[in-house]
Every structure is written in structure tokens, then in C-alpha cells.
Structure 1
Amino acid sequence: MKDNNAIGIQYLQDGKYELAIKAFTEEIENNPTNAVAYVNFGNVLNAVGEKEKAMNFYKKALQLDEKMAAAYYALGNNYFELEDWQHAKEMFEAAMKNGLQNDGDTLFMLGMTLLKFDQPKLALPYFQRAVELKPTDMEARFQYGLCLAQQGLLEEAIEQLEEVVKHDDQHADAFYNLGVAYAYTENKEKSLEMLDKAIEVQHDHILAAHAKKIILEN
């Protein structure tokens, strides 16, 4: 007996969306109470830009299984993209409550959502845990570094941001924030070095150019 979910996921990963839809449709027709199939169908719709329709499938999955963490996570992502921060926050929290409490992506997205509420202090532990779980996730590490800096933990912030630029020497914003952090620690030479690198990577980095101007004038 063929596994339409597995077949559909493979088609989705290969970018063969029509074949993926066909496989998931067949699965839903054969097993209409299979919540996983609805999540997978929603993922295909998301991939082709049909976000509103995708959300209906995720909600259907939750009607069938209210503990379906993957559906909560997917809904959270869609609400986040729609800038509905409150619903995004609720969905990511529900995803964690139902089994994704140690999933780096979920922790990262909840942290990002909390930043939309201007709550970097609350976001900090989620980014920290996300980095612990996925040390190579440089975007999570970057956000973690920013949150540390916002809490005045400059040495810790510098450590994280240095790690980011070590792995990605084209991350202009990481260089810029390193420049600012070094300026606050009164390391003018290092600050200018980082700001120059930010401008080298992104010639029109206005913030870096402005920060450099201020440092040179003082």
C-alpha cells in the first residue's frame, strides 16, 4: 500500500507541487481524518503563495487533532507574515505546548514575534535556547546578540556577533552592530574596523556610515 503522505512530501521537496497536491488529495480522500495530510496539503498551498487557503487546511488539521504541533507552527508562520503578531504568538506558544518546546525554529519564531511587541527581554531566552539547539543558525545567533546588547550585556553580545561574522563575512548588519558594541566598550579602533567592514559589504549602509562619522568626530 503506497504512502501518499511520504510521496507527497517528496514531491513538495522536489518542487513538483501539482504532483504533491495530487498525492495529498488522494490521502485525504482515503483517510479524511488524517490531520497530517491536511498540514501537508497546507504546506503545498503555502509554497505556491496561497496562504489564506493554506490556513484553512491547518485549521482543519487542528479540528481533527487539537494537539497537532506542526499545524500550530505553520499557522504561526502565516500569521507572522500577515503581521498578525498576537495570533502568531498564540500559535507558536501552542506549538511549544504540544511538543515543539525544544524545536529551534519554533523558539526562534516566538522570539521574533516577541520583538514585534518590543519585548527583547522576553525574547532573549528563546533566542538563547534556539542557538543552543541549532548552533549553526546564524540568524538566531544574530538576534540573540542584538537582544544581549539591548540588555547592556555588551561583552556577551560581542561574542555572539563575532561568531556570526566568522560564519558569514557578508553580514553587514552584524558588522555594524559589532561596531556599535565596540564603541560602547570604548574600543574605538575595533569599532571603526567593524564599521568599515559593514560599509565594505554594503556600500549604502547609512547607519554604519553615520556611526563612523560620529566616532571620528569624537
Structure 2
Amino acid sequence: MDKNTQGIVYMQEGKFEEAASLFNEVIEKNPNDPVGYINFGNLLMHMKDFEHAERFFSRATELDANAATAYYGLGNLYFEQSLYQPAQQNFQKAMELGLEESDVYYMLGLTLQNQEQFKLSLPYLLRAAELAPDDEEILFFYGLSLAQANHLKDAKATFENVIGMNPEHSDAYYNLGIISIFEENIDGALAHFNAALRIQPDHLLAANGKKNIVELLKEKDR
């Protein structure tokens, strides 16, 4: 196992000092290789040291203007700080340079979603879901963008698929409850909110949704 790979293993294990030591050795031995800088940048990201992480990612792009993963790292760095415009630009740059992984499509989709560009986010989240069909988180956020773009029928089917993958996904049940309200299916909405609360008793949105429906049903009975 080379030092870069071992450093990544240390980072995944939370052994940040050991990882930093190895990545530093890699950079000292190969100062013109962007890989060491990218890995060190990712480590600093994990440590929430955004200022220094940006320097390492930027240095990697100076060494290799086609280092797609460096731009992806910058995208993540800006996203973590809610700087969505520069995050979007860097994710797009990574894709232009040939990074074809579910994560970059997913993160670009989330970046657009956070800018309330729901329709624009859809093709990226869909592509992410195609590349990682077993990832329930990606599928859920694709469903969320569908709902936010008023594609309720497709959103409903997507949330149902999420529950098929994970029957304990409280947020999927909550969103199905909201869609049921739009469909004027009050009983269905109540059932979905109850399911969300069974899984997550402190789900405030589901609790509020249930409260509103119970009050509505009381009004009807008067």
C-alpha cells in the first residue's frame, strides 16, 4: 500500500495526524504531483480547516489545470460554507474535465437545489441516481427536487422507491404525506405522517402536519 492510499485509510479511520504526516511526506517527495495536495486538501476539509484546504486544492490546479478531483474538492469546500455559486462553478469544471462519478452529479444537483433552481437540479440528481442506483440518499434528494419543481406524480413514485429501499426513512414518509395533501387524500396524509412519527418521534414537520390534519378533521365533524 503506497503512502497516499495509507493516508486515505488513516483519514477514513479518523487518524488525522497520521494521515497528515504521510501526505506531507508524499508532497515533499513529489512536490510537482497534484495528488498529494488533493489528498491533503481533503484531509483539511474533514478537519474543517477550509482556509488551508483551499490553498492545497488551488495548488493542485496550478500544477495540473486538468486535475478534475481538485476542482471537485474546491466545490465541496465552498458547498460546506454555503458558497453555492463558486461551488457550482467548480463542480461544473470537474465534470467538464471528465469526472464521471455519482458524487459530482449529486453535489452539483444539491448546489442548484440550495439556490432554489429545482428544475435545473433534476438532470444532475437523476444522473447521480443512475450511477448509484442503490444510494437512497441520492434518490431521496432527487425526489425532493421533483416535488419542489411540482412534478408530484414522479416525486411520489420516487419517495415510494426510497421507502422500498429503506422502510424506516421518516423524511420520505413525511414528503409522501405532503403530496397526499395536494392530492386531497387526507387519510393517506395522516397515515404517512403517523409512519414518519413512528420512525422518528421528534419529527417536528410530521408532527405539525399531523396536528393540522387532526384539526381539519375536527372541523369537518362539527
**TM-score by structure 2 length?**
0.89
Structure 2 segments unaligned to the other structure (5+ residues): none
Give the conservation status (yes or no) of the 8 Å contact 1:154–1:185: no
Structure 1 segments unaligned to the other structure (5+ residues): none
Distance 2:67 2:23 in 1: 17
Give the conservation status (yes or no) of the 8 Å contact 1:161–1:174: yes
Distance 1:42 1:110 in 2: 19
Shift of 1:170: 3.3
Amino acid paired to 1:140: I
Give the conservation status (yes or no) of the 8 Å contact 1:171–1:201: yes
Deviation sequence 1:13-68 (CA, Å, 0-9, x none): 33332222222212211111000111011122222332221111011000000111
Q: Which moved more, 1:36-45 or 1:181-190?
A: 181-190
1:89 is paired with a residue whose SS is: helix
Are 1:165 and 2:163 counterparts?
yes
2:17 corresponds to which residue?
18
Shift of 1:117: 1.5
1:152 is paired with a residue whose SS is: coil
Distance 1:178 1:136 in 2: 20
Aligned length: 216
Q: Which runs of structure 2 are paired with 1:109-188 in the superposition (5 Å)?
A: 109-188=107-186
Shift of 1:9: 2.5
Distance 1:151 1:87 in 2: 24
CA RMSD, Structure 1 to Structure 2 (Å) = 1.9
Give the conservation status (yes or no) of the 8 Å contact 2:103–2:128: yes
Shift of 1:159: 1.2
Are 1:60 and 2:22 counterparts?
no
1:99 is paired with a residue whose SS is: coil
Distance 2:35 2:166 in 1: 36
2:66 is paired with a residue whose SS is: coil
2:45 corresponds to which residue?
46
Distance 1:77 1:174 in 2: 25
Deviation sequence 1:154-201 (CA, Å, 0-9, x none): 221111101212333333221111011122223333222111111222
2:209 corresponds to which residue?
211
Q: Which moved more, 1:178-187 or 1:138-147?
A: 178-187
Q: Which runs of structure 2 are paired with 1:76-115 in the superposition (5 Å)?
A: 76-100=75-99, 102-115=100-113
Distance 1:94 1:191 in 2: 42
Distance 1:23 1:210, change over 3 A: closer
Identity percentage of aligned residues: 44
Distance 2:203 2:13 in 1: 37
Distance 1:214 1:24, change over 3 A: closer
Distance 1:208 1:22 in 2: 47
Distance 1:103 1:7 in 2: 23
